[in-house]
Structure formats: C-alpha cells, structure tokens
Amino acid sequence: MATQTTTLRGWQSSGQNMLSSQQAQPTPKASPIGARPYKDFLTPALHRRFTRAAGLILALCWLEAFLMSHGAGYFWSWFPFSTTGLRALLLFMPCLAVFIVRVGNMHAGHLNTTSGFETFVSHSTSLRTLATIVWYVYSAWFFGEAYIWAQGQERNLGWVDLGKSYERPRVNENPIILRWLFVWVALAQAMRHLARDVDRIQVEVKEQAAQQQQGQEKQEKGASRIPKAVLDLSMQKKDILNRILQLTIAGIIATGIPLYYAIIRRFAWPMAYTIGRIFFRQLPASAAPHGIVHPGTFIWQAFTSVGMLVVLWEVSNAVFTSCVSEPPLKREHPLTSEIKDARGTIISRSTDPNGSLLRGCRAKKDVPKTFAFWELYLICVQFPARRKTLFAEADRKDTAGQPHNIWSQVSQLCLAEITAISDRIAKSQEPLGSPGNAANTQLQQTHQRQDTFSLPKISDRRVEDNPNVFQQRSQNSIAHTAGNLVKSVGQSPGAVSPLVPRARKAIEYAADRSLSKDTQDRWRNSDGLGKEAKGYMTQFLQTPLGEPFRQTFARRLQAVVFGVPYSNKANVVHAARSLTKLVVSSLKEDNFGFAAKDVSGIIRTFTATIRNVETFVQVGLTPSWTDVGFDERRDRQLAGSGEVGEVVAVLRSCLREMVLTFGEYADSVGLSAKDVGEARETVGGGGAEMKQVQGT
C-alpha cells in the first residue's frame, strides 16, 4: 500500500515538473474556437451513407421493375438500358421521398412523453407530421402512376375501357380504385411511421472493444463481403414481412375497398369522368359507375402492387436506419482524425481534431452532439493513440477564452451530461409556488399597483396635431360616460343587479324539474361535486378508451431522468463510459497529472447521481392520479429495472471501476474515508476487492 501511494505521488510530482516545462514552450495547437465545426466531418459522412443506402434501394427498384416487365423478351426485361431501367428510375422516386422524410425528421433518442395523448398532441401539432404525410402520399401517387403506365391498356388499367366491339367505350373504374388504395395505404404507413418513431437514430453502444476488433479483422480478411445494411435487413426480415402482410391485407380488404364504395366513390367517379371526357370525346355525356372490370385480375393487381409499394417503404426505412446508425468512423478511424491511405496521401485533413470534437460535444442540436459523444467513446475505447492526445494538450483556451487543458474541457462536458440528471430531478421536485417564484409574483403585483394608482404626468402626453380633436373628444366623452353608467350597475359595493334574482329563479326552477334533491345537495357542495367528477374520470381511465390519457409512472420517470422532448440516454451512457476510461487510463497516459485533481470530484458526482436516481425512483416521484393501475411495489421495481435501471447499472459499473482503480490512492487524490465508504455502499460491493478498498 505504501509503495503504491509513493508511486502515485511520484507520478504526480513528475507530471507537475513536465507541466512546468511544457508551459514554457507554446503549443502549436489552435483553440477550439478556431477549429473546424464538427458538422464539417459529420455531414460528408452522412452523405456517403445516404449514397450507399440509395444504391442498395436502386437495386431493389430494378428488381421490381424486372417483375413488372412483360412481353419485352428475356434480355430486355432485365437489361438496365431499356424500359426496365426507366421503370427502375421511376420506382426510385417514391424511395427518395422516404429518404427526404428521414433526413428532415432525423433525431437521436426516442420521444419522451408522459402519456399517449401527449404523444398524439405532439405529433398532430408538428409540421414534421404534415410533411411526413404529404411525402408518403406523393410517394404512393408517383408509384401508382408508374405502375399503371407499366401495365397499360393490356392489363385493364387504361383510363377508358373500350369493351367489346359492340359496346360503347366507358371510363374504367379499376385504376380509380387502385389509385385510392395507394393513397389510403400511404396514410396508414405515415401513421405507423410516426407511431414507431422510425426517424430515430439507432445508437448502439458496444461495450467490448474485443468484439469490435474481431469484426474489423474479419472485414480485413474478407470473411464477409456482404454490406452491413444487407445483414441487418436479413435479421429483420420476419418483422418486415409481417408488417408488409398486415398493411397490405388491412389496407385492401379490411378498409380500403369498403371505404371506397362507402365514401370515396361519390367524389372520385365524377372527377375521373370529367377528366375522361376531356381526352375522349366519344364518351357519353354522363354515365354511372359500372364497377370492377375483371375482378380476379384486379384483386391480384391490387395485392401485388400494394405489396411492392410497401416493400419499397419498409426496405428503404430499414436500409436508411442501418446506414445512418453506423458508428462515427471513416476507414476505421474517428471522423475528426486526419486519415491517410496506404501511400501516405491525406484523405481527410484535420488541423485540430480535438477542437472539432469539443465543438461537436457542445453542439445544441441533438444529432451532431450524439455522434460527437459516440466518437469520444470510441476514441477512449478503441484508439489509445488518439486517447493520449486528450491528456497531452496543456495550453488550450475554452469558449470563454480562458486557458484550460483539453482534459478539463472533456471532463466538464461529460460531467455536465451526468449532473443534468440530478438537476432535472431537483427541478421536478420544486413546488409550484417556490420562494423565488412567489417573490417575483409579489414584485410584479407591486409594480402593477404603483402603475395603477400613480397619476399621469402631463409631460407623458404627446402633442395633439389632429384638427378634429375637439369633435373626437366630445364623442369619446359621451361614450365614456355611457360606459361608466353601464359598468356601475352591480359594481358598487353592496349593489345587486336587477337581472340576478330572475336568473337565479329560472335556474332553481329548471333544477327542481330535472334533478332530485340529493343530486342538488351534492352539486351545491363543491367538495362533493369534485369527488364525484373525479370518480367518473377514474372510471373512464380504467377503460381501454382512457388508456391514452394515463400518465404512467415509468413514462414520467423517463421524462424526468432523460429529459424532454427526446431522450438523452445515449449521451449519458457515452459520457459516463468515456470519462471512466479516461480516468482509469490516466494512471499510465496522463504524464502531466491533470486528471489526479479531478478524480475525487468525478467519483462524488457519480455517487450522488446514482443515489439521487434511486431515491427518486423509490420515494421521490409520486404517481399521477391518472395512473389508475399503479402498484407501489411492482411499478417502482419495473421502472427501476427499465431504461432508467440500465443507465444506473452503467453508472454503477463505472463507479466501481474507478473506485477499484483509485481506492488505494484515496488520500493522494483527495478522497476521504467517507467518500470511499459512500461510493462502496452505492456500488453495493460486498466482494473482496471492495472490502479491501474500504479497509484502506
């Protein structure tokens, strides 16, 4: 123990000596203010992923275009430079509309709301929802026109049905119904898109660097040449197939065709007939809808076409999610690093990698901030050479222009994500009428009284330059006098309006005629009326119709711990693990001793955050009266073992690793016996290692 403490103190003293020598020489590193923005690295990476996803979807469009081809011969049915290639490009336009929706609505973290009704209100009042519906409807309409054009008159999808030789031409109702089915399925797909929160970036946290290294070695050896998006798609094939079948069957048989004959037909048929009369003069002046032509063929066309459209939507979403959710790496290097190829040619230039990374961690938008913290975590775990640079830059200015080393800025950003949990918990427990709010309200009321009772000054009036000022003043005085006369009725102390007794008698007469004496007594009592109304609302909340209005304990807990409107879980996990890895690695890599003075504060912060969350889950958060199915023991235990429990487990494992690493050096890093004991108790360590730490 003494030897290890001496070693740590010697490490700190040597670090201070090296720091003094380092400060004598100015560092060539630029400040983060002058560094390139993080979006300059992230945006090109997202463009490359977008292009890769578009290439895979274009191959799917070519396959569907091949299935649509008929009567063109074997060679021309698959040859790209033919009508098949043209159809593939036309089919790619609906997929491009889905990509536009994904790019416009892309966010990190799931939507945090306290109830299903709040989620509905959040979506219904957002312009993103309207844009999603519009783009999906456009996608379905464009696909329908491409499909009907590819099938043509030969498949009974022409605008006019010529019929037999002895029959008069008539407007074909088959393409009308088919177009309606495409639009109806688009509306259903848009609603499901929003309900499933498809636009969320699937940020995956890989805990073991060994598994990542094995995956890289397999790629280098050529063991797997299949793109990652295709592998992810094969893993989700069952779920995608189920969604395709459900939407196709429900959109055609269950709702689409019945809704067309019940409502849509009376509006769609006159419009289609008017358009048909413009291009086909031989049509009669008026005609009634005649129904489906060749029902068996039409049903087959409806199922196959709607199925192909839903396949394009589902695969486009799955491929886009897989490509965009890849780690922030470029050629197995962090995005902000300077990357060179085998010949030494610079592929990606970065004059200040750490400065750009810091700007990304300070970003206000959630997408670049999430990718920046993700990259920081990968740097701390997989790239030791780059990790050492986080301790090496001693002369660097922060955003305020104050000199701070790179370690202090990184640790502050990571701790800010962790302490934000405690801040949100404390804010949620503040009473509505807190002293600060009451003081502000009293001050505002005082100012209002002073403004009300103070006399107007003559100097505050502006000079009148209107020639009709005397006439307007006489009219205004008459109106003012009449208004005061009207307002004086019932406003004087003790005055009674002459209309009040008559209105009261009318209300009492209606109540005696319609309500019993018991009901009137309950209604006259405000407490009884409130209890009765709350009882009715509780009964409604217990029904399936009231389920969207329930504010469940788990949802309210996640909203407080992870923040709103989108969850901050990924950033908290990445920040905690990155900071832990840096603190543990500082024993060997921090030559200047920057991290030693901050270890005690970091351990205290982790301990306090874990305790605050656990206390909040057990006793701090009171259930809402709308949570009619709340069970004290069950729901608190389930909420603590859900996503909130996962984050607490991560914080606890990080705290355990830091205590095991620095517990023996507690005195040297500023940790008291109380701090170590609280940390050990928080970790729940009863093992030999933790007992040894407590004993020291």
Residue-wise pLDDT for 337-363, tens only, equals 888 777 777 777 788 899 999 999 999
Question: 202 or 189, which is more confident?
Answer: 189
pLDDT at 255 over 60: yes
Residues 188 and 46 in one domain: yes
Does 165 reside within a domain?
Answer: yes
Instruction: State both tokens at 135.
Output: 């783009």
Spatial CB neighbours of 201, under 8 Å, sequence gap ≥ 6: 106, 107, 108, 321, 324, 325, 367, 370
Does 121 reside within a domain?
Answer: yes
The pLDDT of residue 291 is 81
Compute the 3-state secondary structure of the chain and give helix, strand, coil in percent, each to the nearest 5. Answer: 70, 5, 25
Number of domains in the chain: 3
Q: What is the DSSP letter of 329?
A: B
Residues 232 and 106 in one domain: yes
Per the CB < 8 A criterion, the answer to whether 671 and 603 are in contact is: yes
The pLDDT of residue 182 is 95
Per the CB < 8 A criterion, the answer to whether 331 and 219 are in contact is: no
Q: Which residues pair with 329 in a beta bridge?
A: 334
Burial of 622 from C-beta contacts in 10 A (0-12 / 13-18 / 19+): exposed
Mean predicted confidence (pLDDT) in 65-93: 80
pLDDT at 556 over 70: yes
Closest CA to 298 of 182, 157, 162, 163: 157
Per the CB < 8 A criterion, the answer to whether 336 and 38 are in contact is: yes
The pLDDT of residue 442 is 44
Does 631 reside within a domain?
Answer: yes
Instruction: State both tokens at 59.
Output: 């191959």
How far apart are alpha carbons 308 and 64 in whole angstroms? Answer: 7
Does 378 reside within a domain?
Answer: yes
pLDDT at 126 over 70: yes
Crossing angle of helices 643-662 and 553-562, in 10° steps, is: 50
Which residues constitute the domain of residue 250?
Answer: 39-200+225-324
Residues 176 and 59 in one domain: yes
Binned at pLDDT 50, 70 and 90, residue 222 comes out as: very low
Q: Helices (DSSP H) in 325-434: which residue ranges? A: 353-361, 366-382, 384-392, 406-428
Does 669 reside within a domain?
Answer: yes
Instruction: State both tokens at 313.
Output: 């939507």
How far apart are alpha carbons 572 and 569 in whole angstroms? Answer: 5
Burial of 518 from C-beta contacts in 10 A (0-12 / 13-18 / 19+): exposed
Residues 520 and 410 in one domain: no
Burial of 148 from C-beta contacts in 10 A (0-12 / 13-18 / 19+): buried
By mean pLDDT, which of 17-31, 211-225, 354-368, 396-410 is the weakest? 17-31
Binned at pLDDT 50, 70 and 90, residue 91 comes out as: very high
pLDDT at 308 over 90: yes
Does 44 reside within a domain?
Answer: yes
Binned at pLDDT 50, 70 and 90, residue 75 comes out as: low
Question: 627 or 25, which is more confident?
Answer: 627
From 308, 324, 340, give the residue that closes a domain: 324
Question: 140 or 512, which is more confident?
Answer: 140
pLDDT at 388 over 50: yes
Segment of 142-146, 391-395, 435-439, 585-589 carrying the highest mean pLDDT: 142-146
Instruction: State both tokens at 673.
Output: 């016996």
Q: What is the DSSP letter of 198?
A: T
Does 270 reside within a domain?
Answer: yes
Segment of 115-119, 284-288, 452-456, 687-691 carrying the highest mean pLDDT: 115-119
How far apart are alpha carbons 659 and 679 in whole angstroms? Answer: 7
Residues 381 and 300 in one domain: no
How far apart are alpha carbons 338 and 352 in whole angstroms? Answer: 9
Binned at pLDDT 50, 70 and 90, residue 446 comes out as: very low
Mean predicted confidence (pLDDT) in 520-538: 64
Backbone angles phi, psi at 429, to 5 degrees: -95, 0
Residues 370 and 230 in one domain: no
Spatial CB neighbours of 479, under 8 Å, sequence gap ≥ 6: none
Mean pLDDT of the chain: 78
User: SS3 of 335, please?
Assistant: coil
Question: What is the C-alpha radius of gyration for the chain, rounded to an integer number of angstroms?
Answer: 35
Instruction: State both tokens at 614.
Output: 């656990």
The pLDDT of residue 415 is 95
By mean pLDDT, which of 210-224, 236-250, 543-557, 616-630 is the weakest? 210-224
Instruction: State both tokens at 469.
Output: 């000022």
How far apart are alpha carbons 90 and 309 in whole angstroms? Answer: 12
Closest CA to 658 of 669, 644, 647, 648: 669
Per the CB < 8 A criterion, the answer to whether 489 and 495 are in contact is: yes
Per-residue pLDDT tens digits for 262-296: 999 888 888 888 887 777 777 776 777 788 888 88
Closest CA to 136 of 53, 192, 178, 82: 192
Residues 535 and 562 in one domain: no
> What single letter denotes the amino acid at residue 42?
L
The pLDDT of residue 532 is 64
CB atoms within 10 A of CB 356: 24
CA distances from 620 to 557, 608, 647 (A): 10, 15, 18
CB atoms within 10 A of CB 339: 18
How far apart are alpha carbons 162 and 160 in whole angstroms? Answer: 6
How far apart are alpha carbons 372 and 363 in whole angstroms? Answer: 9
Residues 534 and 418 in one domain: no
CA distances from 312 to 87, 94, 140, 685 (A): 14, 8, 10, 52
The pLDDT of residue 34 is 63
Residues 282 and 377 in one domain: no
Residues 383 and 406 in one domain: yes
The pLDDT of residue 242 is 92
Mean predicted confidence (pLDDT) in 408-429: 93
Residues 251 and 111 in one domain: yes
The pLDDT of residue 579 is 95
Mean predicted confidence (pLDDT) in 471-493: 43
Q: What is the DSSP letter of 33?
A: T
Backbone angles phi, psi at 114, to 5 degrees: -90, -10
Region of residue 436 (phi > 0: left; psi between -120 and 50: alpha; otherwise: beta):
alpha
How far apart are alpha carbons 305 and 96 in whole angstroms? Answer: 18
Residues 184 and 247 in one domain: yes
Per the CB < 8 A criterion, the answer to whether 313 and 96 are in contact is: no
Binned at pLDDT 50, 70 and 90, residue 529 comes out as: low
pLDDT at 686 over 60: no
> What single letter denotes the amino acid at residue 223?
A
How far apart are alpha carbons 25 and 159 in whole angstroms? Answer: 81
Beta strand 160-161 with 339-340 is unpaired
pLDDT at 80 over 90: no
Burial of 464 from C-beta contacts in 10 A (0-12 / 13-18 / 19+): exposed
pLDDT at 392 over 80: yes
Mean predicted confidence (pLDDT) in 379-398: 84
Does 71 reside within a domain?
Answer: yes
Backbone angles phi, psi at 207, to 5 degrees: -80, -35
Which residue, chain included where needed, has tokens 């605050």? 612
Mean predicted confidence (pLDDT) in 515-526: 61
